[in-house]
Amino acid sequence: MITALVLAAGRSRRMGVQKLLLPLAGQPMIARVVDRVLRSPVDEVLVVTGRDAKLIAEALAGRRVRFVANADTQAEMLSSVRCGLAALPDRCDGVLIVLGDQPGITAETVALLIDAFRSGRGKIVVPSHNGRRGHPLLLSAAYREEIQTRYDDVGLRGLLRAHAADVFEVEVSSPGVLLDIDEPQDYERAAAEFHDAEQPPSDTDAPGDQRR
């Protein structure tokens, strides 16, 4: 069983507003991320929320997800990961760690990670694009207890360093594995990109039109 942990407890300090509720191509950012995870081969989606839990839940209304509360509203990402890990079902053997502010995630990328994990190529599977590692990460649930007690200062980077031989990189074509949204200019670029990417062609764009 593969469970996705979508991290949605951040305070969005650099953005100045709750970035996960900002619109992208007609829906809140967190809804875009969760919808793509739900289209992937994961078996369950857990959303870890913080002080904006009610608003996040409203943005995800009607979706097949389970919510997990991180009571520490000042905590960093590792705290949310630990909350999610503590809520995993016993039968879970793989955990997909998804950033709630990664709107470029695709179901196809998640499927590639799961295929690599299921085929035994790595206990820790990471996507890379043009040689750069990104997110989401797919981890064996066997690391659950270790993550709960270690890596306070370095987060999951410490796990990857401690178990470098267990890491398998999957090269993907999508640059979305490298994109997350931290500051207003990041959001402005993403809003323009996803708006343009999801617009229907205009009447003047004839088939075979090569304009870019």
> At 72, which CATH number?
3.90.550.10
204 within domain boundaries: no
CB burial class (10 A; 0-12, 13-18, 19+) of residue 155? middle
Closest alpha carbon to 158 in 169, 148, 166, 147: 147
Which tens digit of pLDDT belongs to each residue from 30-61? 999 999 999 999 999 999 999 899 999 999 99
Averaged pLDDT for residues 61-71? 96
Q: Please tell me the predicted confidence (pLDDT) of residue 78.
A: 94
In the chain, pLDDT over 90 holds for what percent of residues?
73
In the chain, pLDDT over 70 holds for what percent of residues?
90
198 within domain boundaries: no
Q: Is residue 170 scored above 90 in pLDDT?
A: yes
Looking at residue 10, its amino acid is G
160 within domain boundaries: yes
175 within domain boundaries: yes
Domain that holds residue 160: 2-189
200 within domain boundaries: no
**Between 91 and 16, residue with greater pLDDT:** 91
pLDDT band, very low/low/confident/very high, at 211 (cuts 50, 70, 90): very low
111 within domain boundaries: yes
196 within domain boundaries: no
CA pair distance 55, 58, nearest whole angstrom: 5
Q: Is residue 89 scored above 50 in pLDDT?
A: yes
Which tens digit of pLDDT belongs to each residue from 26-38? 899 999 999 999 9
pLDDT band, very low/low/confident/very high, at 16 (cuts 50, 70, 90): low
Averaged pLDDT for residues 52-79? 92
What is the count of structural domains for the chain? 1
Question: What pTM, to 2 d.p., does this model score?
Answer: 0.88
201 within domain boundaries: no
pLDDT band, very low/low/confident/very high, at 195 (cuts 50, 70, 90): low
